[in-house]
C-alpha cells in the first residue's frame, strides 16, 4: 500500500486510518444489541451439527462461520461487533488501492477520508451483522478484477477474484446483483476485456459450481421472503436513501431544501463519473461508475416491479465505496481545474453533514438502539420463582435471550395464542412478565394485552427506548387471578 509513496503522504494516510479506526471503536460496546445483532451472537455459538436453524435464516452462512470462531474470544457487545469493524478497516485499505492510490494519491486519500468519516459507513461497520463483510468482499472483488484486467499473464488476481466471488455468494444474496453487474461491466468494455474471456469463463463456472452445495438451501430461503416491510421506492424515498448514503442522514431536512443538497452532488458526479477528464483507459475509469450505477438500476427495478422491496440504505450499502470513489474523483477534478475554493466547499459540505450525523448517532438519545440490556436486567432483579416471561415477538426474543442471565420459564406469545394458550399459562404461573416491542407489527390490535388486562391484574409497567417511540420496549408485570 505504501510502496513509492513519500513519508509525508504515509503520515496522512495513517492519520486518516487512525481517525477512522477510533470512530469505529468509540463506545463500541455501549449500546445494547438489537435483535439481529443478538442473533449473530447467540446462534454461531452452537456446534456446527446443530446449525439446522439456518433453514429459517434468510442469509448464507459465511458470516456466522466467522463469528463461530471469533466468539471464542468472548461474547460481550464489544467482541460481537469487533469483526465488522475489522472488515470496515480492510475495506478502506482496498478502496485506497482500487482508487489508484499510487498514481492518483490525492483522489485515493480523499476517498478514504470521505469513506472513513461517513456516518452511514461507520454505523454499518459498528453493527454485528454481515453487511460490513459483504462490502469488504465487493471492494476486494473489484480490486482483484481490476488487477486481472491489467495483467495479461497474471493468474493470482483472477484467483483472488474467484475466491472473493465465492465468498460473496456465501455472505449475502445481494451478491447476485453485484456479480451480475460485474458481468455487465465486463461486456460493456468488451473491446479491452475480450482477451481475458477464457479466465473470465473459468471464474464464472467455478463460482457457479461452488454454490451448488448451498443451492437447495437458497431455494428454500426464497420462499421465506424478506424486505416486504419496506415501501415501494418513490422520489422521496430515493432522495432520503441518497441523503443517508452521502451525508449520513441522521438529521431532518425539509423536502424543499433537497435541491440545495443534491445539486452539488450532481456536479461532483458529472466530473467524477461521466467526464473522462484525464483520458484514462475507459475500462479502468468507469469500473466504479458501473459498480455503482448498475446495482442501483437493478435494485430499484426489483423494488418497483416485484414484491421484493430491497431498496434501502442498508441493502445498497455495498455500492457506497464506489460512489465515494466517484465523489472524490469529481472533487479532485474541480480542484485540478484551479477551482480550489469550490472543491474545499464541496469537501466541507460532505464532511460537515456526516460529522453532524455522527454527533447525532453517538450523543443524541433518539439515535441509539433500544435498551434491551437494562430492560432484561431490571426484570431479572424483580422477578421471582413462579414467574413466567412472555415475549410478544419470535424475533425480538433473540435480544431477550442474549441478555437473559437468570433462567425463568419463557414463551413466545402472539395474538394467535389467545385465548387457549395464554389462559392455560395463566393457570400455571403466579405472575406474568410481558415484553412488548413493535406492537404495530406483531399485535396491532392489542389482543394479548387486552386479554391480560381483563383476566389478570397489572402491577407494574416499565418503558425502555433509545431509538424512537416506534421501537419502544414495554415491560408489564401481571398478577394472575386464580380460579
State the span(s) of the chain assigned CATH 3.40.190: 372-480
What pLDDT does 193 receive? 92
Q: Which CATH architecture has domain 372-480?
A: 3-Layer(aba) Sandwich (3.40)
What pLDDT does 469 receive? 47
Q: Is the pLDDT of residue 226 over 60?
A: no
Q: Is the pLDDT of residue 276 over 60?
A: no
Do the Cβ atoms of 413 and 448 come closer than 8 Å?
Answer: yes
What pLDDT does 66 receive? 94
What pLDDT does 148 receive? 94
Phi, psi angles (nearest 5°) of residue 474 = -115, 125
Cell of 110: 480523499
| Band of pLDDT at residue 227, cut at 50, 70 and 90 | very low
Q: What number is the average pLDDT over the span 280-301?
A: 91
| Predicted model pTM | 0.91
What pLDDT does 161 receive? 97
pLDDT in tens, 429-451: 999 999 988 777 778 888 998 99
pLDDT in tens, 332-355: 888 777 778 888 888 898 999 999
Distance, CA of 366 to CA of 465 (rounded, Å) = 8
SS3 448: helix
Q: What percent of the chain has pLDDT over 90?
A: 46
What pLDDT does 365 receive? 60
Least confident of 197-211, 416-430, 460-474: 460-474
| Band of pLDDT at residue 256, cut at 50, 70 and 90 | confident
Q: Look at 211 and 1; give whichever has higher pLDDT.
A: 211
Distance, CA of 310 to CA of 300 (rounded, Å) = 8
Question: How high is the mean pLDDT of the chain?
Answer: 87
- Residue 473 DSSP one-character state: E
Q: Which stretches within 337-468 are classed as H helix?
A: 340-363, 372-382, 397-403, 420-428, 439-442, 447-455
pLDDT in tens, 141-173: 999 999 999 887 789 999 999 999 999 999 999
Amino acid at each position: 500500500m505504501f510502496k513509492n509513496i513519500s513519508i509525508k503522504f504515509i503520515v496522512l494516510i495513517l492519520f486518516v486510518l487512525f481517525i477512522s479506526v477510533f470512530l469505529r471503536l468509540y463506545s463500541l460496546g455501549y449500546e445494547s444489541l438489537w435483535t439481529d445483532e443478538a442473533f449473530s451472537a447467540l446462534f454461531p455459538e452452537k456446534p456446527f451439527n446443530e446449525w439446522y436453524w439456518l433453514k429459517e435464516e434468510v442469509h448464507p452462512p459465511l458470516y456466522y462461520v466467522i463469528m463461530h470462531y471469533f466468539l471464542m474470544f468472548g461474547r460481550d457487545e464489544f467482541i460481537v461487533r469487533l469483526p465488522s469493524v475489522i472488515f470496515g478497516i480492510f475495506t478502506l485499505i482496498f478502496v485506497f488501492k482500487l482508487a489508484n492510490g499510487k498514481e492518483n494519491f490525492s483522489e485515493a486519500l480523499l476517498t478514504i477520508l470521505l469513506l472513513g468519516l461517513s456516518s452511514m459507513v461507520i454505523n454499518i461497520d459498528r453493527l454485528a451483522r454481515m453487511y460490513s463483510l459483504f462490502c469488504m468482499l465487493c471492494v476486494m472483488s473489484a480490486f482483484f478484477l481490476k488487477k486481472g484486467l491489467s495483467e495479461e499473464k497474471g493468474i493470482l488476481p483472477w484467483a483472488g477474484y474467484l475466491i472473493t466471488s465465492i465468498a460473496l455468494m456465501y455472505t449475502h444474496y445481494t451478491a447476485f446483483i453485484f456479480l451480475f453487474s460485474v458481468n455487465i461491466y465486463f461486456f460493456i468494455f468488451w473491446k479491452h476485456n475480450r482477451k481475458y474471456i477464457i479466465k473470465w469463463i473459468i471464474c464464472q463456472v467455478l463460482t457457479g459450481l461452488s454454490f451448488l452445495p448451498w443451492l437447495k438451501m437458497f431455494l428454500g430461503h426464497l420462499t421465506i421472503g424478506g424486505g416486504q416491510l419496506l415501501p415501494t421506492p418513490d422520489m422521496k424515498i430515493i432522495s432520503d436513501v441518497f441523503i443517508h448514503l452521502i451525508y449520513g442522514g441522521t438529521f431532518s431536512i425539509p423536502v424543499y431544501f433537497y435541491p440545495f443538497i443534491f445539486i452539488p452532488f450532481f456536479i461532483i458526479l458529472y466530473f467524477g463519473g461521466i467526464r473522462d477528464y484525464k483520458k484514462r483507459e475507459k475500462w479502468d475509469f468507469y469500473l466504479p461508475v458501473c459498480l455503482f450505477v448498475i446495482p442501483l438500476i437493478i435494485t430499484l427495478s426489483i423494488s418497483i416491479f416485484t414484491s421484493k422491496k430491497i431498496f434501502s440504505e442498508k441493502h445498497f450499502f455495498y455500492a457506497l465505496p464506489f460512489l465515494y470513489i466517484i465523489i472524490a474523483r469529481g472533487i479532485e477534478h474541480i480542484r485540478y481545474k484551479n477551482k480550489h475554493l469550490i472543491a474545499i466547499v464541496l469537501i466541507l459540505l460532505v464532511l460537515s453533514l456526516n460529522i453532524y450525523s455522527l454527533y447525532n448517532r453517538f450523543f443524541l438519545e433518539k439515535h441509539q438502539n433500544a435498551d434491551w440490556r437494562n430492560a432484561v436486567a431490571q426484570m431479572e432483579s424483580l422477578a421471582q420463582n413462579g414467574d413466567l416471561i412472555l415475549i410478544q415477538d419470535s424475533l425480538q426474543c433473540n435480544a431477550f435471550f442474549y441478555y437473559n442471565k437468570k433462567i425463568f420459564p419463557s414463551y413466545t406469545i402472539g395474538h394467535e395464542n389467545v385465548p387457549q394458550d395464554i389462559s392455560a399459562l395463566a393457570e400455571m404461573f403466579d405472575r406474568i412478565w410481558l415484553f412488548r416491542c413493535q406492537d404495530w407489527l406483531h399485535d396491532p390490535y392489542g389482543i394479548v394485552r387486552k386479554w391480560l388486562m381483563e383476566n389478570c391484574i397489572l402491577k407494574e409497567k416499565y418503558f425502555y427506548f433509545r431509538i424512537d417511540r416506534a421501537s419502544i420496549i414495554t415491560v408489564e408485570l401481571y398478577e394472575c387471578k386464580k380460579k
